Amino acid sequence: MNPKIYLHEYIDIIGQNRARYMHHMTANWNPVGMEERNQRCAGLWGTVGSTGRWPETVNLWELDGFDGIAASFSFETGRPSQQDEKLAKWWAEAANFRRGGFDRLMLPAPWCRTVTELCEQGVTGETYAHETIKVDAWSAPDFLSAVHDVAVPAFATFGIEVTGAYRTALRDDSEVTLIYAFPTWQAWADFENAWHSRGEAVAAWQGLVRDKASAFERFVMVEAPLSPMRLGRQPDRSDRTDEWTD
């Protein structure tokens, strides 16, 4: 059972600042988040623009359930500015790299691995897929169970590792997010060829999507240099390449 909660963010990047923003988030913010909020980076990716919005990053943070996210919110908003004064400098710097975004809280499937488990098991990928699947209201938990039984075996044919399987909180359990890692770009191509030719390896997974989903979207991502699955650990202050100080 995975007891965590996840903060999922789409971040709109200003101009050619994606690499700077990624470093600022992983090397400069993550150490503070771990120390003050027990918040860990579960992944940070750049969207491959030909498959989705650009320039954009996808940030994923892991906290200790609703108690953990409540403590983080209290820490952040419990002052007149509704902002942690300690992070004022960090926010000001981040504003040079991003213009806004869209966040959601997500609950993991019981079988979904934590970022610590993924790192310990050496899970990583040359590229990743991100899927958003709309299902009937209140059916997301059942759909995630079916993902485990149907999609995971199909993905294994291509060497694919499911790194995240979530349902969106604070709504009617009608949205599922899947993140999975391809060992190589060619593995991604093999998967897409099978998907679009309705190959036997993905037939059961396609059938589940067609039967249960009212909408479906997939785009492709690449990990940030200091993303934890790429490092095999959480990024910390030793990874800083700028002169940033907390």
Domain range for 158:
115-223
Residues 119, 216 share a domain: yes
**At 57, which CATH number?**
3.30.70.100
Residue-wise pLDDT for 105-137, tens only, equals 999 999 999 999 999 999 999 999 999 999 999
Q: Are residues 141 and 51 in the same domain?
A: no
**Which of these three, 91, 107, 123, is where a domain ends?**
107
pLDDT of residue 52: 96
Q: Which of 69, 84, 107 is the last residue of a domain?
A: 107
| Residues 64 and 41 occupy one common structural domain | yes
Looking at the structure, do residues 19 and 92 belong to the same domain, yes or no? yes
pTM: 0.95
Mark whether 23 and 39 lie in a shared domain. yes
Predicted confidence (pLDDT) per residue in 166-204, tens digit: 999 999 999 999 999 999 999 999 999 999 999 999 999
Query: Within this chain, do residues 36 and 76 fall inside the same structural domain, yes or no?
Result: yes
Written as one letter, the residue type at 125 is G
Please tell me whether residues 138 and 209 are part of one structural domain. yes
Is residue 244 very low, low, confident or very high in pLDDT (cuts 50, 70, 90)? confident
Which of 113, 223, 201, 215 shows the shortest CA–CA distance to 164? 113
Residue pair 130/44 in contact by the 8 Å Cβ criterion? no
| Contact residues for 55 (Cβ-Cβ < 8 A; gap 6+) | 12, 13, 15, 16, 17, 18, 46, 47, 49
Q: Is 241 contained in some domain?
A: no
71 in a structural domain: yes
200 vs 245, higher pLDDT: 200
Out of 12-21, 26-35, 83-92, 104-113, pick the least confident: 83-92
Asked if 135 and 50 sit in the same domain, the reply is: no
> Using one digit for the tens of pLDDT, what is the confidence trace for 42-96?
999 999 999 999 999 999 999 999 999 999 998 878 666 556 666 778 888 889 9
Looking at the fold, whether 157 and 209 belong to one and the same domain comes out as: yes
